[in-house]
Structure 1
Amino acid sequence: MLMDNTLELLVITDSNIKITRFSAESVNGEKRNVIEAQLTYNVNRCPYCESEKVVRNGSKILHTRLTELHQERFEMKLYKQRYLCKECLKTWSARTDIVEEGHTLSHQLKRSVLHMAREGITATGIARICHCSPSSVIRIIDEAVELKSRVARLPENLCFDEFRSVNSTMSFICSNCASGWVCGQNPFFESRP
């Protein structure tokens, strides 16, 4: 019952995850709570060849970083069930929705990184709070932000002009002659007397 409450507190809703052990460790003077859990479920068919000759084939350990709870670091050591198809001899692991395949940062942790980035916290500050690298923080932000794509092609007739904008800065504007649609605008950041 206590283990189920821990999953509820960490907002882990996968019913196939069962906690086997909970421990607190100290690594390099930093306390971290480690949840050991097992992910297993019954598989009736092979996802590759649809054969019913599927057997369990050991487990694979996945280290997942979870969000903080009461300013304490939480990690999950997840033993994922491996399966083997006797027909095509292919293997695969049990899947969960708390983390992407091949990743270690949970979806919750990624959401908290994005929330902190919206609040204006620096990448190194977010990395220190979330216990991950600054490059991971930047990668998460880059994956979430959709950049505007460039114009695929320019119109047949262009109007362009160079003009003085704010604080004597020269700017460039380009528009479609027929519709007046602005194709591009580029500040030069150049001061001219």
Structure 2
Amino acid sequence: MKNLFTPENAAMLLIDHQVGTSKLARNIDPAHLLANVRALARTAVASGMPLVLTTSQEDHFQGPLYDDLAEIAPEAHEARIKRPGVVDAWTYGPFKSAVEATGRKKLIMAGLTNDVCTVYPAISALEDGYDVQVVVDGGGSPTQAADDISVERMRSAGVTITSTNQVMAELATDWASPTGQAIQGIMYEEILKPLVEG
């Protein structure tokens, strides 16, 4: 692939993975969703990729971020961008500035929910000249129809649609490399272990 996303050229953006918002992702198993989000965050930390976290209205029903994110990436968690209610995170100045500060033009996004919190910043960043991949199973929507529609809207705009395992493999590039070995270990622990040993 000529347009490969790597830990050296991409940033990971995790949008609104909040305890309350997670209850709205009804088209994906909650445990599977959390495992995917953990895998994405761990991959960013292990590979040295910039990781930007954002929340929306933490003092409302959305609540705090998953505790797991604070444990996996304490610095990113502490620096998270707390939006007061702006739906399209990309249009909220502090979030966009945090992404720009990474210096990366390739963005890997996942968010809750796909049909509200992910679709708009993905398209907005694309319109601003960024190369965007959305990890669909790193999020979810209230219904499968809502998720399908959001995916189609993003794809039609030019966003690349991917999955957790797929983007992790792309970032690994070579399973035998030190980074590849680290990512492979994360993938096994978070996602593959129940399938292989279950």
Task: Using structure 2 for the length normalisation, give the TM-score.
Answer: 0.21
Query: Which one scores higher on RCO, CA 8 angstroms, separation ≥ 6?
Result: 2
> Higher strand proportion, which one?
1
Bigger proportion of residues as helix: 2
Over alpha carbons, which structure has the higher Rg? 1
